[in-house]
Amino acid sequence: MKPVSMQTLIFLKQLTISTILGLSLVSCSILPEKVDETASWSTGKLYSEAKIFFDSGNYTKAAKYYELVEGRDPFSKLSQQAKINAAYCYYKDGDLVQALNSINHFVQLYPTSPSIDYAYYLKGLINFNDDLGLFGRFSGQDPSERDQKAFRDSYNDFKYLVERYPHSKYSKDAALRMRYALNAMAAYEAHVAQYYYHRGAYLAAVNRAQNALKEYDQAPANEDALIIMIRCYDALGMTQLSNDAKRVMMATYPNSDKLGLHYQRKSSDKSWWQIWK
């Protein structure tokens, strides 16, 4: 028996590959295409189906159907409501980026919508996002230790709602959340000041503490900010400034028990954000 030449082997290999590819194409051509069951549905039916999923808590499916409503009839009132509902579904699903994109698009497209006050409220909620998650709950994480840009954006959203639509049914809750966001930002400044204080950067600590006092008047964390200022001035030997800060401390917080303590929260103290809840 003659040995098979190299050219023959190459030819057979190419033939095998071509045969396999040909069979694959044939098999693909005879498989039925996936049918879009919603293709013949009206926008009303799509919206009704979306609401069924929404009411059952299936926000992923509901968002998909709401998006279909908008895609098929983008200029209808039903489409407006579908878009804002889709944004809420993304928010509930934890897809905050998509939720924010959707609500921003709604605000741009429908600035005179009867639901515009709710749109700003929802936008504030998306940025606010006070869900600490499982780890945060059990570790006792303070919300002020998280990203402050989201709190600031949330504050601005709620502020716009309260000032522009004071009689909206969402304004009262928005005002409460504004205070919460302010407290969080003030507490963040106190956390940073504490960080500098414990590392001996006393001037930097004083600057952050002063920023909290100037920007966030009457926030609960300002008591801690004053304590840090007193400790820093004492450490720097600035007796007059320390005494001035103590007078402000005693006038503002006459019942405070922190003047004789090092700056650290006692385990028994209740956090400002727990009080708010």
Q: How confident is the model over 136-194, as pLDDT tens digits? A: 333 344 544 555 788 899 999 999 999 999 999 999 999 999 998 888 888 889 999 99
Please give the residue that has the higher pLDDT: either 7 or 133.
7
Which range of 3-17, 140-154, 205-219, 261-275 scores highest in mean pLDDT? It is: 205-219
- Give SS3 for 140: coil
Closest CA to 157 of 129, 133, 132, 191: 129
Residue 147 · residue 180 · CB < 8 Å? no
Look at residue 66 and tell me whether its pLDDT is greater than 50: yes
Residue 100 · residue 123 · CB < 8 Å? yes
**Global pTM?**
0.70
- What lies within 8 Å, CB to CB, of 58 at 6+ separation is none
* Integer Cα distance of 54 and 50 in angstroms: 6
Look at residue 7 and tell me whether its pLDDT is greater than 80: no
Query: Which pLDDT band holds residue 132 (cuts at 50, 70, 90)?
Result: very low
| Cα 88 → chain centroid | 13
Query: Which pLDDT band holds residue 11 (cuts at 50, 70, 90)?
Result: very low
Region for residue 170 given its phi and psi (left: phi exceeds 0; alpha: psi -120 to 50; beta: otherwise) = alpha
| Cα 271 → chain centroid | 21
Domain ranges of the chain: 42-94
Q: Summarize the confidence of residues 33-62 as an average pLDDT.
A: 86
Q: Summarize the confidence of residues 11-24 as an average pLDDT.
A: 52
Residue 142 · residue 272 · CB < 8 Å? no
And the tokens for 12? 């057979």
Could you tell me where the DSSP H helices lie in the chain? Answer: 6-30, 43-55, 59-72, 77-93, 96-109, 116-128, 133-139, 148-164, 171-198, 202-215, 222-236, 239-252, 272-276
- Of all residues in the chain, what percent carry a pLDDT higher than 70? 73
25: how many CB neighbours lie within 10 A of its CB? 10
